Amino acid sequence: MTLLAVNGGSPIRSQQWPLWPAPAPGALDALNEVLHSGRWAISGPYQGKQSFERRFAAAFAEFHGIGHCVPTSSGTASLMVALEACGVGAGDEVIIPGLTWVANASTVAGVNAVPVPVDVDPQTLCLDPAAVERAITSRTAAIVVVHLYSAVADLDALTAIAERHGIPLIEDCAQAHGARYRDRRVGTFGAFGTFSMQHSKVLTSGEGGAVITGDPALSRRAEHLRADGRTYTPDEPAVGEMELAQTAELMGSNRCLSEFQAALLLGQLELLDEQNERRRANAALLDEGLGALGIQPQVSSPGTTERTYYEWAGRISDDGIGQIGVERIAPAVAAELSGAAIYASYPPMNHNRLYRPATRSRFEGVPGLDLTGYSLPVAEDAGQRVVTIHHSALLGDESDMKDIVRAFEKVFANHRELRG
């Protein structure tokens, strides 16, 4: 008789998991206020009170202890704004991690530059500083570091490399809202910190993003780039007038956050620290329980003073179970847990099926965009043996964490069922 739920057996759990996204108290009232405000976007006419977009920008900048925040329509938009604000353009090279979401490569191609994936550290799964150093050429125009899953990259080493070579460092914090390194929030170490507020993120408005910076000149460039070449007026406009001035300084595109999204984010931001603390406590339980099964938890760089958990991640051991591959193990565990969000790691960027510039005519004939020739052995191993657990499960309680451990135990005990 089949034992595993993925093969028709009975799952170990029937209860549902915490729903994500979960609206903050007052979310409905905030959305209703926008609905009847006469202003649904920063590009709409001023109505005599500060926009939700500007209120969120101020709150997010204060949260990070930094001078400037420019909200954007998505995390992808935030990356493209940051790259272009730093002067990245045609023919430039941008170093990115070999293990990350596809947008880190596609956004580089999107600003007419060339992504250069380098391998990651086997413990943190973030950029390997030594690999970054080896990849720098005379064409390197930026380094994009991703704080992946629950780890913070080695910012001591990476900022030193960037400063030594005079190359801007851009921190992709899409999975690290609220994390700290050397007691500073991540996103404040590079020229820009970029954020995604997409549906799955720990701070979300469905879609959305932001860039933060301590440099007023870079902030002004970012404002122009995300609002069709417009920036905030220096003085409060009259009711009915536009709050965005057409300066003609820098051509941009429309990558603005809506007032509805900004209103949601203001409330969600107030919950973030408490939610992150709950995720950390539950992650510690998983470190112990899943570690005892031979799953090595992802670690963060030594300078990390506060982790956040977009995903709990761990590497399955090299024994017979590990050889099955996470692409089979993850759905089997999820089936035992009423469809909990258990996933395989991202594939390495040199084999990422979502990165296919040849399918778009705008990239035809552009040299250097094919990444299949890169060697990324650590990222490739992670793609085969790293399993992740979405942060929504970490908003549960201790009994929920025990269910996760029990599910892995059952799948491991019956792993022969998964062999093809």
pLDDT tens per residue across span 135-145: 999 999 999 99
Average pLDDT of 29-55? Answer: 97
Contacts with 14 (C-beta within 8 Å, 6 or more apart), sequence order: 338
Residue 227 has pLDDT above 90, yes or no: yes
Q: Annotated catalytic residue: which of 49, 201, 402, 410?
A: 201
Residue 205 has pLDDT above 90, yes or no: yes
Identify the band that residue 345 occupies on the pLDDT scale cut at 50, 70 and 90: very high
Confidence category of residue 318, pLDDT binned at 50, 70, 90: confident
Residue 320's pLDDT is 66
Q: Which residues contact 357 (CB under 8 A, 6 or more apart)?
A: 106, 109, 363, 366, 369, 370
Residue 339's pLDDT is 86
Contact 18, 392 (CB under 8 A): yes
Local structure of residue 292 (DSSP, 8 states): T
- Domain over 26-268 is classified CATH 3.40.640.10: yes
Give mean pLDDT, residues 308-312: 98
pLDDT tens track for 12-32: 999 999 999 999 999 999 999
Q: Which two tokens stand for residue 40?
A: 């649904």
* CA 72 – CA 204 distance, rounded (Å): 13
Question: Which pair of structure tokens corresponds to residue 168?
Answer: 């801007």
> Quick check: is 49 catalytic?
no
CB count within 10 Å of CB 89 equals 12
Please check whether residue 80 is in contact with residue 255, taking contact to mean a CB–CB distance below 8 angstroms.
yes
Percentage of the chain beyond pLDDT 90 is 95
Give the pLDDT score at 323.
Answer: 81
pLDDT digit string (tens) for 365-376? 899 999 999 999
Per-residue model confidence as pLDDT tens digits over 106-131: 999 999 999 999 999 999 999 999 99
Which residues share a beta bridge with 192?
170
Domains 26-268 and 273-418 share a fold: no
pLDDT band at 419 (very low <50, low <70, confident <90, very high): confident
Q: What's the whole-number mean pLDDT along residues 196-204?
A: 98
- Rounded mean pLDDT of 160-187? 98
With vertex at residue 99, the alpha carbon angle to CA 98 and CA 100, rounded to the nearest 5 degrees, is 115
Give the closest residue to 317 by CA, choosing from 347, 286, 346, 293.
Answer: 293
Residues 59, 212: Cα–Cα separation, whole Å: 12
pTM check: above 0.85 = yes
* Statement: 273-418 belongs to CATH 3.30.70.141: no
The mean pLDDT of the chain is: 96
Is 161 a residue whose pLDDT tops 80?
Answer: yes
- Answer positive or negative: Cα dihedral of 412, 413, 418, 420: positive
Query: CA-to-CA distance for 161 and 145, rounded, in angstroms?
Result: 12
**Residue 50 above 70 pLDDT?**
yes
Q: What is the DSSP string of 40-59?
A: SBTTSPP-SS--HHHHHHHH
Q: How far apart are CA 17 and CA 329, in angstroms?
A: 20
Determine the pLDDT at residue 420.
64
d(CA 115, CA 128): 16
Domain regions of the chain by residue span: 26-268, 273-418
Confidence of residue 377 (pLDDT cuts 50, 70, 90): very high
pLDDT the model gives residue 2: 65
Q: Up-side HSE of residue 89: CA atoms within 13 Å toward CB?
A: 3
Q: Which amino acid is at 409?
A: E
